[in-house]
Amino acid sequence: MTALKKIGFVGTGIMGSAMAGHLIDAGFELSVYNRTKSKAQSLIDRGARWCDTVGECAAGQDVVISIVGYPKDVEQIYLGAGGIVDCAKSGAYIVDMTTSSPILAEKIFAAAQAKNLHAVDAPVTGGDVGAKNATLTILVGGEKNSFDALQPVFAAMGKNIVYEGSAGAGQKTKACNQIAIAGTLAGVCEAFAYAKASGLDVEKVYSAISTGAAGSFQMTGVARKGLDGDFNPGFMIRHFGKDLAIGSETGTAYGASLPILSMVLHEVKKLEQSGDGNLGTQALLKYYGVI
């Protein structure tokens, strides 16, 4: 067993609850905090210690992990008064697994260094299924020594654990992932929009192209659900919009030209405005008029 024994976990939603559960299974001593206590109850029932504040959850832990909603939430829980940087013990590892801003990750890293804390950004891919099955891909930015020390913790939650580079590199890689998804999913939706408009049978087109060079997870694992009328979220449109906005904003800061990202972000915002923000990303089929 690793020398890292005690973990504080902040954010026990759909992803966080499953991930934290795997840490209990791996034998770590877990403390938890969530804004809504009921969402942490299943972990408490399994022996996790409930904390009334973020600071209490961070205090005295070897590792503090967070997976929350938006960059503003990340900034508050790490850099706010009584937050993780204020309350974590000297030498602790603080790990944000939220999809957030790489610029914010660098800011947290600098603040952590000043307090002798080891900050790591480690966003994940694989969705709720990956979280439940402990098969997440974990994209890690920070010091290599921190990455190495945290291997047993990451291994309890994921399978493909990749060191991407210095602080912010994990978040930058996650932005690359979301940008690639955006273009792929939009292309799939546009293909079926063309099929429908030209008088083809969309199902026959799907059968013809889904197993060839045009095939992808976005076609067979995401768009397929929408074609079947299932819009339950594996990943919500509104969260996808948040991720794409991060890519757009930081891409501008880095001087990157991202026209496809800009187009899909516009489409996602339109879906949110029409009340579809809580549907899965397969709802992009609705924007294109396929469904």
Token match 């800011």: residue? Answer: 107
Out of 6, 89, 107, 174, pick the active-site residue: 174
Indicate if the pLDDT at residue 64 is higher than 70: yes
What mean pLDDT is predicted for residues 186-203?
Answer: 98
β-partners of residue 32 are 9, 50
Q: Return the biggest CA–CA distance within the chain.
A: 66
What local confidence, expressed as pLDDT, does residue 3 receive?
Answer: 85
Active site residue 174: yes
Percentage of the chain beyond pLDDT 70 is 99
Note the Cα 66 to chain centre separation in Å.
11
What mean pLDDT is predicted for residues 34-44?
Answer: 97
Q: For residues 250 and 101, is the Cβ–Cβ distance under 8 A?
A: yes
H/E run at residue 242? helix 237-254
pLDDT in tens, 163-191: 999 999 999 999 999 999 999 999 999 99
What local confidence, expressed as pLDDT, does residue 127 receive?
Answer: 87
Residue 148 burial (C-beta neighbours within 10 Å; 0-12, 13-18, 19+):
exposed
Between 235 and 20, where is the model more confident? 20
Question: Looking at residue 280, what DSSP letter applies?
Answer: B
What mean pLDDT is predicted for residues 47-71?
Answer: 98
- Give alpha helix (H) positions in 64-211: 71-79, 84-87, 102-114, 127-133, 144-149, 151-155, 169-197, 202-209
What mean pLDDT is predicted for residues 76-97?
Answer: 98
Tokens for 91?
């030498």
What local confidence, expressed as pLDDT, does residue 1 receive?
Answer: 40
Q: DSSP 3-state assignment of 118?
A: strand
Domains of the chain: 6-166 (3.40.50.720), 173-287 (1.10.1040.10)
For residues 285 and 239, give the distance between their C-alpha atoms in angstroms, rounded to a whole number. Answer: 17
Indicate if the pLDDT at residue 227 is higher than 50: yes
What local confidence, expressed as pLDDT, does residue 164 receive?
Answer: 98
Round the average pLDDT of the chain to a whole number and report it: 97
Indicate if the pLDDT at residue 116 is higher than 70: yes
